[in-house]
Amino acid sequence: MSGALKEDGRRGVTILGSTGSIGCNTVELVEARPDLYRIEALTAHSRVEILAGQARRLKPRLAVVADESAYGALKDALAGTGIAVAAGPAAVVEAAQLPADWVMASIVGAAGLAPTLAAVRRGAVVGLANKECLVCAGALMTAEVAAHGATLLPVDSEHSAIFQVLDATQPQAVEKIVLTASGGPFRDRTLAEMEGMTPEQAVAHPNWSMGAKISVDSASMMNKGLELIEAHHLFAMPEERIDIVVHPQSVIHSMVSYVDGSVLAQLGSPDMRTPIAYALGWPKRIFAPAPRLDLAAIGQLTFQAPDSERFPALRLARTALQTGGSAPTVLNAANEVAVQAFLARRIGFLDIARVVEETLETVEPVTPSSIDDVLEQDLRARRCADAIIARRGKR
Ligand SMILES: NC(=O)C1=CN([C@@H]2O[C@H](COP(=O)(O)OP(=O)(O)OC[C@H]3O[C@@H](n4cnc5c(N)ncnc54)[C@H](OP(=O)(O)O)[C@@H]3O)[C@@H](O)[C@H]2O)C=CC1
Ligand SMILES: CC(=O)[C@@H](O)[C@H](O)COP(=O)(O)O
Ligand SMILES: [Mn+2]
């Protein structure tokens, strides 16, 4: 990021998915430091009111909605501001192509792949919250990062923690990465209890305030499975050297074990403004208004082994990573479809993992050699998962 400052000394920032949980936290941090940052572009799917409010305050060059039917509303909301307005998935990619120094990739799901890739391809520094794009296209994505001299800065709290304590100068000294998992809202529930859990119960995360999709992923622990694959790609760490430990307090955000027996961890309150600020300020640290950690008040930090009987998503993700090729792409796409079906009350909570497993059994893994191949496999998996859900509904 050195040399990435514009003439006025401020870093140009684009936020892809500015209206979401990560996006709004990023906006808050950027807004607090007009001396350091100016906004280049903001994008959303369809929540025009939030996007237009952010745009009026931050005055980007461009504001984009992915949903074309929201174009008129955005145009009206920003009339007379001089801010350019556009709509559609291609316009989101164009927003990512504007010459911002730093891009927050915080669109949810594989929909974030093309715009994130567009930022990578122009060599930007990318704060990566969107884990799905590394899960569905990890090897191709990291190759693009290397080819274009881009920088990926992890924003996911666990990966930010690892990034902060990993000694990249001595990769041979690293024994293991240990991802912490809260266990989600159903950590101590039986399978019989989980069967009847509602979307409202699933999105009620005990520690973090997040968007609906990642909250359901945390409840099924698919989030930790996706994070396992994300860590594998971000830190070039083999699957068997990435452990998962359940830590209900979400205070230790992850750890790195070294060959001398030392374990280094990053701690903090469960507040995404800390990892976002780390990526936004990198290579320096900037202030974040997250609650300060009071260990005496917390009293105890506890740990337990993950249970892949009650949380089969953990097993499915590990197996998909071992299988390789398009298996993680299929896992991710089927999970996105199943989570949406659960949120729409078309399937039950435990059906999410069942749909993912059946899709993985049905769609033959291939070795994608391009992003187009990945997108093709993503589509195949979505169609397969849709068909499985439709069949389940008819029983
Ligand atoms: N929330 C968190 O604390 C964490 C999130 N992450 C990851 O960050 C990403 C974002 O999560 P989160 O902020 O919780 O999600 P949200 O659902 O809160 O926000 C998603 C954002 O993406 C936009 N969006 C949704 N669909 C599309 C689409 N098809 N095309 C373009 N834009 C779209 C939304 O627009 P609109 O508002 O208009 O619908 C919104 O701006 C996810 O990949 C998640 O796994 C990782 C760690 C922590
Ligand atoms: C904030 C963040 O990074 C989330 O991914 C969080 O880790 C979810 O918590 P779980 O550990 O319950 O999946
Ligand atoms: Mn996380």
CB 111 within 8 A of CB 137: no
Structure tokens at 140: 């191709």
**Closest atom of ligand 2 relative to the 270 alpha carbon:** 1
Residue 195 has pLDDT above 80, yes or no: yes
- Compute the average pLDDT of residues 165-175: 96
Distance of alpha carbon 135 from the chain centroid: 10
Here the ipTM equals 0.99
Residue 232, annotated ligand binder? no
Q: Tell me: the pLDDT tens digits for 291-303?
A: 999 999 999 999 9
Which strands make up the sheet holding 174-181, listed edge to edge?
242-246, 174-181, 252-258, 263-267
How far is Cα 180 from Cα 160, in angstroms, rounded to an integer? 12
How far is Cα 364 from Cα 382, in angstroms, rounded to an integer? 13
Residue 69, annotated ligand binder? no
Bridge partners, residue 242, by sequence:
177
- Give the closest ligand to the alpha carbon of residue 270: 2
Is the CB of 160 inside a 6 Å radius of any atom of ligand 2? no
Structure tokens at 255: 């750890």
Structure tokens at 342: 């659960």
Residue 6 has pLDDT above 60, yes or no: no
**Closest atom of ligand 2 relative to the 131 alpha carbon:** 5
What's the CA dihedral at 275, 218, 329, 192 to 10 degrees? Answer: 170
How far is Cα 6 from Cα 352, in angstroms, rounded to an integer? 46
Judge if the upstream peptide bond of residue 289 is cis by omega within 30 degrees of 0: no
∠245-197-244 over CA atoms, to 5°? 10
**Closest atom of ligand 2 relative to the 253 alpha carbon:** 7
Please, which pLDDT band fits residue 155 given cuts at 50, 70 and 90?
A: very high
Ligand 1 center–CA 27 separation, angstroms: 14
CB 103 within 8 A of CB 96: yes
CB 118 within 8 A of CB 93: yes
**What is the overall mean pLDDT for the chain?**
97
Residue 244 has pLDDT above 50, yes or no: yes
Residue 337 has pLDDT above 70, yes or no: yes
- Compute the average pLDDT of residues 104-130: 98
- Compute the average pLDDT of residues 254-275: 98
| pLDDT of the residue at 393 | 76
b/e burial code for range 254-281 (CB count within 10 A of at least 16 → b): bbbbbeeeeebbbebebbbbbbbbbbbb
Residue 200 has pLDDT above 60, yes or no: yes
| pLDDT of the residue at 347 | 98
How far is Cα 302 from Cα 247, in angstroms, rounded to an integer? 6
Ligand 1 center–CA 218 separation, angstroms: 14
Dihedral angle sign, alpha carbons of residues 367, 370, 376, 378: positive
Ligand 2 center–CA 68 separation, angstroms: 32
Q: Give the residue whose CA is nearest to atom 47 of ligand 1.
A: 156
As to burial, measured by CB atoms within 10 angstroms (0-12 exposed, 13-18 middle, 19+ buried), residue 371 is middle
How far is Cα 358 from Cα 350, in angstroms, rounded to an integer? 13
Dihedral angle sign, alpha carbons of residues 93, 329, 242, 168: negative
**Closest atom of ligand 1 relative to the 208 alpha carbon:** 3
Distance of alpha carbon 254 from the chain centroid: 16
CB 85 within 8 A of CB 109: no
Q: Tell me: the pLDDT tens digits for 69-90?
A: 999 999 999 999 999 999 999 9
* pTM given for the model: 0.98
Residue 367, annotated ligand binder? no
How far is Cα 248 from Cα 230, in angstroms, rounded to an integer? 21
Is the CB of 218 inside a 6 Å radius of any atom of ligand 2? yes
Residue 4 has pLDDT above 50, yes or no: no
Is the CB of 74 inside a 6 Å radius of any atom of ligand 1? no
Residue 335, annotated ligand binder? no
- Compute the average pLDDT of residues 333-340: 98
**Mutational test site, ligand 1, from 107, 152, 159, 272, max ligand atoms within 8 Å of CB:** 107
What domains appear along the chain, each with residue ranges and CATH number?
A: 11-155 (3.40.50.720), 157-268+292-313 (no CATH), 324-390 (1.10.1740.10)
Show the DSSP H helices in the chain as ranges: 21-32, 48-58, 71-77, 89-97, 113-121, 132-148, 157-165, 191-195, 199-202, 212-220, 222-235, 273-281, 295-298, 312-323, 327-343, 351-362, 371-394
| pLDDT of the residue at 8 | 80
| pLDDT of the residue at 394 | 60
- Compute the average pLDDT of residues 162-167: 98
Is the CB of 106 inside a 6 Å radius of any atom of ligand 1? yes
Residue 19, annotated ligand binder? yes
| pLDDT of the residue at 1 | 38
Ligand 2 center–CA 395 separation, angstroms: 34
Please, which pLDDT band fits residue 392 given cuts at 50, 70 and 90?
A: confident
| pLDDT of the residue at 130 | 98
Q: Give the residue whose CA is nearest to atom 22 of ligand 1.
A: 107
